[in-house]
Structure 1
Amino acid sequence: MGIIGSQLKPFATTSYKDGAFVEVTDKDVLGKWAVFFFYPADFTFVCPTELEDLADKYDELKAMGVEVYAVSTDTHFSHKAWHDSSPAISKIKYHMLGDQNHVISNNFNTLREGVGLADRGTFVVDPAGVLQLVEVTPEGVGRNAAELVRKIKAAKYWQEHPGQVCPAKWEEGAETLAPSIDLVGKI
Protein backbone atom coordinates (compact mmCIF):
# COMPACT_ATOMS: atom_id res chain seq x y z
CA MET A 1 0.00 0.00 0.00
CA GLY A 2 1.21 3.57 0.22
CA ILE A 3 0.18 4.46 -3.32
CA ILE A 4 -2.93 6.53 -3.99
CA GLY A 5 -5.71 4.27 -5.25
CA SER A 6 -4.40 1.09 -3.59
CA GLN A 7 -6.77 -1.06 -1.54
CA LEU A 8 -6.56 -1.56 2.23
CA LYS A 9 -4.89 -4.90 2.96
CA PRO A 10 -6.07 -7.45 5.54
CA PHE A 11 -4.95 -7.08 9.16
CA ALA A 12 -6.11 -8.04 12.63
CA THR A 13 -4.79 -6.52 15.85
CA THR A 14 -5.65 -5.31 19.32
CA SER A 15 -6.37 -1.65 20.03
CA TYR A 16 -6.39 0.32 23.23
CA LYS A 17 -9.46 2.58 23.17
CA ASP A 18 -11.63 4.12 25.87
CA GLY A 19 -10.04 2.10 28.68
CA ALA A 20 -10.46 -1.26 26.97
CA PHE A 21 -8.65 -3.62 24.64
CA VAL A 22 -10.61 -3.97 21.39
CA GLU A 23 -9.99 -6.29 18.45
CA VAL A 24 -9.79 -4.39 15.14
CA THR A 25 -9.55 -5.76 11.61
CA ASP A 26 -9.51 -4.26 8.13
CA LYS A 27 -13.21 -5.13 7.85
CA ASP A 28 -13.98 -2.80 10.79
CA VAL A 29 -12.52 0.10 8.81
CA LEU A 30 -14.70 -0.29 5.74
CA GLY A 31 -17.81 1.88 5.40
CA LYS A 32 -16.29 5.07 6.80
CA TRP A 33 -13.35 7.36 6.21
CA ALA A 34 -10.31 6.35 8.25
CA VAL A 35 -6.94 7.83 9.20
CA PHE A 36 -4.02 5.49 9.87
CA PHE A 37 -1.57 7.64 11.82
CA PHE A 38 1.77 5.82 12.14
CA TYR A 39 4.37 7.00 14.63
CA PRO A 40 7.74 5.49 15.66
CA ALA A 41 7.23 4.60 19.34
CA ASP A 42 5.43 5.17 22.62
CA PHE A 43 7.20 7.14 25.38
CA THR A 44 9.10 9.33 22.91
CA PHE A 45 9.31 13.05 22.14
CA VAL A 46 7.69 14.30 18.91
CA CYS A 47 5.09 11.51 18.96
CA PRO A 48 3.09 12.72 21.98
CA THR A 49 2.89 16.24 20.54
CA GLU A 50 1.41 14.88 17.31
CA LEU A 51 -0.95 12.45 19.01
CA GLU A 52 -2.22 15.16 21.36
CA ASP A 53 -2.73 17.54 18.42
CA LEU A 54 -4.74 14.82 16.68
CA ALA A 55 -6.70 14.15 19.89
CA ASP A 56 -7.68 17.83 19.91
CA LYS A 57 -9.21 17.38 16.41
CA TYR A 58 -10.81 13.98 17.04
CA ASP A 59 -14.32 15.28 17.77
CA GLU A 60 -14.26 17.28 14.54
CA LEU A 61 -13.06 14.24 12.60
CA LYS A 62 -15.75 12.02 14.17
CA ALA A 63 -18.40 14.60 13.20
CA MET A 64 -17.11 14.29 9.62
CA GLY A 65 -17.53 10.49 9.71
CA VAL A 66 -13.81 9.80 10.09
CA GLU A 67 -12.29 7.25 12.48
CA VAL A 68 -8.67 7.51 13.62
CA TYR A 69 -6.26 4.62 14.14
CA ALA A 70 -2.89 5.56 15.64
CA VAL A 71 -0.37 2.81 14.89
CA SER A 72 3.06 1.99 16.26
CA THR A 73 4.99 -1.24 16.55
CA ASP A 74 4.44 -1.15 20.32
CA THR A 75 1.87 -3.44 21.97
CA HIS A 76 -1.60 -2.43 23.10
CA PHE A 77 -0.28 -2.92 26.66
CA SER A 78 2.35 -0.24 26.07
CA HIS A 79 -0.33 2.06 24.62
CA LYS A 80 -2.39 1.66 27.82
CA ALA A 81 0.61 2.33 30.07
CA TRP A 82 1.47 5.46 28.06
CA HIS A 83 -2.16 6.60 28.11
CA ASP A 84 -2.25 6.16 31.89
CA SER A 85 1.03 8.01 32.52
CA SER A 86 1.15 10.92 30.05
CA PRO A 87 -1.06 14.02 30.29
CA ALA A 88 -0.84 14.49 26.50
CA ILE A 89 -1.66 10.88 25.63
CA SER A 90 -4.44 10.65 28.24
CA LYS A 91 -6.49 12.97 25.97
CA ILE A 92 -6.67 10.30 23.25
CA LYS A 93 -10.12 8.83 22.57
CA TYR A 94 -9.29 7.22 19.22
CA HIS A 95 -7.87 3.73 18.61
CA MET A 96 -4.22 3.05 19.42
CA LEU A 97 -3.34 -0.08 17.42
CA GLY A 98 -0.57 -2.42 18.49
CA ASP A 99 1.50 -3.61 15.52
CA GLN A 100 4.24 -5.65 17.16
CA ASN A 101 4.09 -8.22 14.33
CA HIS A 102 4.57 -5.38 11.77
CA VAL A 103 1.69 -6.51 9.53
CA ILE A 104 0.00 -3.10 9.38
CA SER A 105 3.27 -1.18 9.03
CA ASN A 106 4.31 -3.48 6.19
CA ASN A 107 0.85 -3.22 4.58
CA PHE A 108 1.33 0.56 4.38
CA ASN A 109 5.03 0.26 3.49
CA THR A 110 6.02 2.45 6.43
CA LEU A 111 8.20 0.05 8.45
CA ARG A 112 11.85 1.12 8.63
CA GLU A 113 13.92 -1.83 7.48
CA GLY A 114 16.23 -3.20 10.14
CA VAL A 115 14.86 -0.84 12.80
CA GLY A 116 11.44 -2.31 13.63
CA LEU A 117 9.78 1.11 13.93
CA ALA A 118 7.24 2.80 11.68
CA ASP A 119 7.97 6.05 9.89
CA ARG A 120 5.78 9.08 10.62
CA GLY A 121 3.12 8.26 8.03
CA THR A 122 -0.46 9.45 7.65
CA PHE A 123 -2.73 7.46 5.36
CA VAL A 124 -6.39 8.28 4.69
CA VAL A 125 -8.66 5.64 3.23
CA ASP A 126 -12.17 6.22 1.97
CA PRO A 127 -15.23 4.11 2.91
CA ALA A 128 -14.40 1.59 0.16
CA GLY A 129 -10.94 1.05 1.69
CA VAL A 130 -9.15 2.92 -1.10
CA LEU A 131 -6.13 5.02 -0.17
CA GLN A 132 -6.82 8.69 -0.94
CA LEU A 133 -4.15 10.70 0.96
CA VAL A 134 -0.55 10.00 2.00
CA GLU A 135 1.91 12.05 4.04
CA VAL A 136 5.25 10.74 5.31
CA THR A 137 7.72 12.87 7.26
CA PRO A 138 11.11 12.10 8.77
CA GLU A 139 11.28 11.19 12.45
CA GLY A 140 12.19 14.72 13.58
CA VAL A 141 9.31 16.48 11.78
CA GLY A 142 5.87 16.51 13.40
CA ARG A 143 2.58 16.72 11.53
CA ASN A 144 -0.30 19.19 11.78
CA ALA A 145 -3.77 17.80 12.57
CA ALA A 146 -5.53 20.96 11.32
CA GLU A 147 -3.94 20.47 7.90
CA LEU A 148 -4.99 16.80 7.95
CA VAL A 149 -8.60 17.84 8.64
CA ARG A 150 -8.42 20.33 5.75
CA LYS A 151 -7.10 17.67 3.37
CA ILE A 152 -9.78 15.16 4.38
CA LYS A 153 -12.49 17.77 3.80
CA ALA A 154 -11.03 18.40 0.34
CA ALA A 155 -10.83 14.67 -0.46
CA LYS A 156 -14.41 14.13 0.67
CA TYR A 157 -15.62 17.14 -1.33
CA TRP A 158 -13.78 15.93 -4.43
CA GLN A 159 -15.36 12.46 -4.15
CA GLU A 160 -18.84 13.84 -3.52
CA HIS A 161 -18.71 16.42 -6.35
CA PRO A 162 -17.57 14.78 -9.59
CA GLY A 163 -16.11 17.27 -12.02
CA GLN A 164 -14.87 19.59 -9.26
CA VAL A 165 -11.35 19.83 -7.86
CA CYS A 166 -10.00 21.70 -4.83
CA PRO A 167 -7.18 24.17 -5.51
CA ALA A 168 -4.23 24.93 -3.21
CA LYS A 169 -5.17 26.02 0.31
CA TRP A 170 -8.82 25.16 -0.38
CA GLU A 171 -11.01 25.50 2.70
CA GLU A 172 -14.54 24.21 3.11
CA GLY A 173 -16.99 26.58 1.42
CA ALA A 174 -14.37 28.13 -0.87
CA GLU A 175 -14.58 28.04 -4.64
CA THR A 176 -13.48 24.94 -6.49
CA LEU A 177 -12.42 24.43 -10.09
CA ALA A 178 -14.16 22.56 -12.89
CA PRO A 179 -11.31 21.35 -15.09
CA SER A 180 -11.99 21.87 -18.80
CA ILE A 181 -10.19 22.81 -21.95
CA ASP A 182 -11.34 26.39 -21.36
CA LEU A 183 -9.20 26.60 -18.19
CA VAL A 184 -5.98 25.38 -19.80
CA GLY A 185 -3.35 28.11 -19.42
CA LYS A 186 -5.77 30.50 -17.72
CA ILE A 187 -5.03 29.75 -14.08
Structure 2
Amino acid sequence: MLTIGDKFPEFKLQACVSIEKGKEFAEVANKDAKGSWAVYFFWPLDFTFVCPTEIAEFNKEFKNFQARETKLFGVSADSHFVHLAWRNNHDDLRDLKFPMLADYKKELAAQLGVLHKQDHMPLRATFIVDPDGIIRWVSVNDLSVGRNVKEVVRTLDALQTDELCPCNWEKGQATLTV
Protein backbone atom coordinates (compact mmCIF):
# COMPACT_ATOMS: atom_id res chain seq x y z
CA MET A 1 0.00 0.00 0.00
CA LEU A 2 1.22 3.49 -0.79
CA THR A 3 1.66 5.53 2.34
CA ILE A 4 2.81 8.81 3.80
CA GLY A 5 5.59 10.41 1.75
CA ASP A 6 4.68 8.54 -1.45
CA LYS A 7 3.56 10.35 -4.57
CA PHE A 8 -0.14 9.90 -5.30
CA PRO A 9 -0.42 7.95 -8.59
CA GLU A 10 -1.20 9.63 -11.88
CA PHE A 11 -4.73 8.94 -13.09
CA LYS A 12 -7.33 9.99 -15.63
CA LEU A 13 -10.85 8.66 -14.98
CA GLN A 14 -14.40 9.27 -16.06
CA ALA A 15 -16.56 10.74 -13.32
CA CYS A 16 -20.18 11.46 -12.58
CA VAL A 17 -20.23 15.18 -11.77
CA SER A 18 -23.91 16.08 -12.05
CA ILE A 19 -27.39 14.70 -12.58
CA GLU A 20 -28.26 17.54 -14.96
CA LYS A 21 -29.08 16.22 -18.43
CA GLY A 22 -26.11 16.68 -20.77
CA LYS A 23 -23.70 17.59 -17.94
CA GLU A 24 -23.52 14.26 -16.11
CA PHE A 25 -19.96 13.21 -16.91
CA ALA A 26 -16.45 14.64 -17.10
CA GLU A 27 -12.93 13.34 -17.21
CA VAL A 28 -11.02 13.95 -13.97
CA ALA A 29 -7.24 13.70 -13.60
CA ASN A 30 -4.43 14.64 -11.22
CA LYS A 31 -4.16 18.02 -12.92
CA ASP A 32 -7.55 18.91 -11.44
CA ALA A 33 -5.98 18.96 -7.97
CA LYS A 34 -2.56 20.34 -8.93
CA GLY A 35 -1.39 22.99 -6.48
CA SER A 36 -4.20 22.24 -4.01
CA TRP A 37 -4.72 19.96 -1.10
CA ALA A 38 -6.88 16.99 -2.05
CA VAL A 39 -8.85 14.29 -0.28
CA TYR A 40 -9.57 11.05 -2.13
CA PHE A 41 -11.95 8.64 -0.44
CA PHE A 42 -12.75 5.16 -1.75
CA TRP A 43 -15.84 3.08 -1.11
CA PRO A 44 -16.42 -0.56 -2.14
CA LEU A 45 -19.56 -0.49 -4.29
CA ASP A 46 -22.49 1.67 -5.27
CA PHE A 47 -26.01 0.61 -4.24
CA THR A 48 -24.81 -0.67 -0.88
CA PHE A 49 -25.60 0.30 2.72
CA VAL A 50 -22.65 1.91 4.55
CA CYS A 51 -21.30 3.73 1.48
CA PRO A 52 -24.10 6.30 1.03
CA THR A 53 -23.84 7.31 4.69
CA GLU A 54 -20.17 8.20 4.15
CA ILE A 55 -20.69 9.91 0.80
CA ALA A 56 -23.55 11.99 2.22
CA GLU A 57 -21.41 12.99 5.21
CA PHE A 58 -18.53 14.10 2.95
CA ASN A 59 -21.09 16.16 1.05
CA LYS A 60 -22.36 17.74 4.29
CA GLU A 61 -18.76 18.68 5.12
CA PHE A 62 -18.00 19.94 1.59
CA LYS A 63 -17.96 23.61 2.67
CA ASN A 64 -15.34 22.75 5.30
CA PHE A 65 -13.10 21.21 2.63
CA GLN A 66 -13.72 24.16 0.35
CA ALA A 67 -12.84 26.62 3.16
CA ARG A 68 -9.52 24.77 3.48
CA GLU A 69 -8.89 25.10 -0.27
CA THR A 70 -9.07 21.32 -0.57
CA LYS A 71 -10.45 19.38 -3.54
CA LEU A 72 -12.65 16.41 -2.70
CA PHE A 73 -12.90 13.26 -4.83
CA GLY A 74 -14.98 10.14 -4.18
CA VAL A 75 -13.89 6.92 -5.88
CA SER A 76 -15.27 3.42 -6.37
CA ALA A 77 -14.86 0.62 -8.88
CA ASP A 78 -18.28 1.23 -10.41
CA SER A 79 -18.68 2.90 -13.81
CA HIS A 80 -19.68 6.53 -14.17
CA PHE A 81 -23.02 5.27 -15.53
CA VAL A 82 -23.65 3.28 -12.33
CA HIS A 83 -22.69 6.36 -10.28
CA LEU A 84 -25.29 8.38 -12.18
CA ALA A 85 -27.98 5.74 -11.68
CA TRP A 86 -27.22 5.63 -7.95
CA ARG A 87 -27.33 9.41 -7.63
CA ASN A 88 -30.64 9.52 -9.49
CA ASN A 89 -32.11 6.86 -7.19
CA HIS A 90 -30.79 7.93 -3.77
CA ASP A 91 -32.07 11.11 -2.13
CA ASP A 92 -28.83 11.71 -0.17
CA LEU A 93 -26.67 11.56 -3.33
CA ARG A 94 -28.56 13.75 -5.78
CA ASP A 95 -26.89 17.03 -4.85
CA LEU A 96 -23.27 15.96 -4.46
CA LYS A 97 -20.79 18.80 -4.81
CA PHE A 98 -17.79 16.63 -5.71
CA PRO A 99 -17.07 14.15 -8.52
CA MET A 100 -17.64 10.42 -8.16
CA LEU A 101 -14.63 8.91 -9.95
CA ALA A 102 -15.15 5.65 -11.83
CA ASP A 103 -12.12 3.42 -11.21
CA TYR A 104 -13.88 0.74 -13.24
CA LYS A 105 -10.68 -1.16 -14.11
CA LYS A 106 -9.54 -0.84 -10.46
CA GLU A 107 -6.19 0.52 -11.62
CA LEU A 108 -6.01 3.45 -9.19
CA ALA A 109 -7.11 1.32 -6.23
CA ALA A 110 -4.54 -1.32 -7.22
CA GLN A 111 -1.72 1.23 -7.54
CA LEU A 112 -2.60 2.56 -4.09
CA GLY A 113 -2.81 -0.99 -2.70
CA VAL A 114 -6.35 -0.63 -1.32
CA LEU A 115 -8.11 -3.56 -2.99
CA HIS A 116 -9.63 -6.12 -0.62
CA LYS A 117 -7.59 -9.33 -1.03
CA GLN A 118 -10.53 -11.72 -1.33
CA ASP A 119 -13.35 -9.56 -2.70
CA HIS A 120 -11.13 -7.46 -5.01
CA MET A 121 -13.05 -4.24 -4.38
CA PRO A 122 -11.75 -0.99 -2.88
CA LEU A 123 -11.48 -0.82 0.87
CA ARG A 124 -12.78 2.27 2.68
CA ALA A 125 -9.53 4.16 2.16
CA THR A 126 -8.97 7.89 2.59
CA PHE A 127 -5.92 9.80 1.38
CA ILE A 128 -5.00 13.39 2.15
CA VAL A 129 -2.62 14.66 -0.53
CA ASP A 130 -0.68 17.92 -0.31
CA PRO A 131 -0.35 20.52 -3.11
CA ASP A 132 2.81 18.75 -4.37
CA GLY A 133 0.92 15.48 -4.87
CA ILE A 134 2.49 13.79 -1.81
CA ILE A 135 0.38 11.56 0.41
CA ARG A 136 0.34 13.08 3.90
CA TRP A 137 -2.31 10.91 5.62
CA VAL A 138 -3.89 7.52 4.98
CA SER A 139 -6.74 5.79 6.77
CA VAL A 140 -8.21 2.44 5.75
CA ASN A 141 -11.29 0.84 7.26
CA ASP A 142 -12.66 -2.67 6.93
CA LEU A 143 -15.52 -3.02 4.45
CA SER A 144 -18.12 -3.13 7.24
CA VAL A 145 -17.03 0.04 9.10
CA GLY A 146 -17.72 3.59 7.96
CA ARG A 147 -15.12 6.28 8.45
CA ASN A 148 -15.30 9.48 10.52
CA VAL A 149 -15.40 12.45 8.13
CA LYS A 150 -14.90 14.95 10.95
CA GLU A 151 -11.59 13.23 11.72
CA VAL A 152 -10.53 13.70 8.09
CA VAL A 153 -11.25 17.44 8.42
CA ARG A 154 -9.43 17.61 11.78
CA THR A 155 -6.39 15.86 10.35
CA LEU A 156 -6.40 18.14 7.30
CA ASP A 157 -6.42 21.15 9.65
CA ALA A 158 -3.46 19.74 11.55
CA LEU A 159 -1.48 19.02 8.38
CA GLN A 160 -2.15 22.49 7.02
CA THR A 161 -0.62 24.12 10.11
CA ASP A 162 2.74 22.57 9.18
CA GLU A 163 3.43 22.53 12.93
CA LEU A 164 3.50 19.95 15.72
CA CYS A 165 -0.07 19.15 16.81
CA PRO A 166 -0.70 17.22 20.04
CA CYS A 167 -3.15 14.39 20.53
CA ASN A 168 -6.79 15.43 19.96
CA TRP A 169 -5.66 18.83 18.63
CA GLU A 170 -8.39 20.84 16.93
CA LYS A 171 -8.30 23.95 14.78
CA GLY A 172 -7.88 27.06 16.92
CA GLN A 173 -5.93 25.32 19.67
CA ALA A 174 -2.27 25.97 20.31
CA THR A 175 0.31 23.84 18.56
CA LEU A 176 3.44 22.57 20.29
CA THR A 177 6.63 24.58 20.42
CA VAL A 178 10.02 22.99 20.70
Distance 2:13 2:177 in 1: 42
SS at match of 1:49: helix
- Please report how far the alpha carbon of residue 36 of structure 1 lies from its aligned counterpart in structure 2 after TM superposition: 0.7
- Please report how far the alpha carbon of residue 109 of structure 1 lies from its aligned counterpart in structure 2 after TM superposition: 0.9
Query: Within the alignment, does 1:9 sit opposite 2:43 as a pair?
Result: no
- Residue pair 1:73, 1:116 contacting (<8 A) in 2 also: no
Question: Could you state the TM-score of these two structures normalised by the residue count of structure 2?
Answer: 0.93
Query: Within the alignment, does 1:115 sit opposite 2:119 as a pair?
Result: yes
Query: Aligned residue for 2:137?
Result: 133
Poorly superposed stretches of 4+, deviation over 4 Å: none
- Residue pair 1:165, 1:177 contacting (<8 A) in 2 also: yes
Query: Aligned residue for 1:168?
Result: 167
Letter in 2 for 1:44: T
- Residue pair 1:122, 1:134 contacting (<8 A) in 2 also: yes
Instruction: Specify the structure having the higher radius of gyration (Cα).
Output: 1
Distance 2:30 2:43 in 1: 19
Distance 1:89 1:28 in 2: 22
- Please report how far the alpha carbon of residue 64 of structure 1 lies from its aligned counterpart in structure 2 after TM superposition: 1.0
Distance 1:30 1:104 in 2: 17
Query: Within the alignment, does 1:21 sit opposite 2:61 as a pair?
Result: no
Query: Aligned residue for 1:96?
Result: 100
Residues paired across the two proteins, number: 174
Letter in 1 for 2:167: A
Alpha-carbon deviations, 1:56-93, whole Å to 9, x = none? 00111112111111110000111111011101122321
Identity of aligned residues (%): 36
Query: Aligned residue for 1:178?
Result: 177
- Please report how far the alpha carbon of residue 114 of structure 1 lies from its aligned counterpart in structure 2 after TM superposition: 4.6
Distance 2:118 2:105 in 1: 14
Query: Within the alignment, does 1:150 sit opposite 2:149 as a pair?
Result: no
In structure 2, the gaps of 5 or more residues are none
Letter in 2 for 1:11: F
Distance 2:52 2:116 in 1: 20
Alpha-carbon deviations, 1:149-172, whole Å to 9, x = none? 1110111112xxxxx301111111
Question: Could you state the TM-score of these two structures normalised by the residue count of structure 1?
Answer: 0.89
- Please report how far the alpha carbon of residue 119 of structure 1 lies from its aligned counterpart in structure 2 after TM superposition: 0.3
Query: Aligned residue for 2:83?
Result: 79
SS at match of 1:91: coil
- Residue pair 1:52, 1:91 contacting (<8 A) in 2 also: no
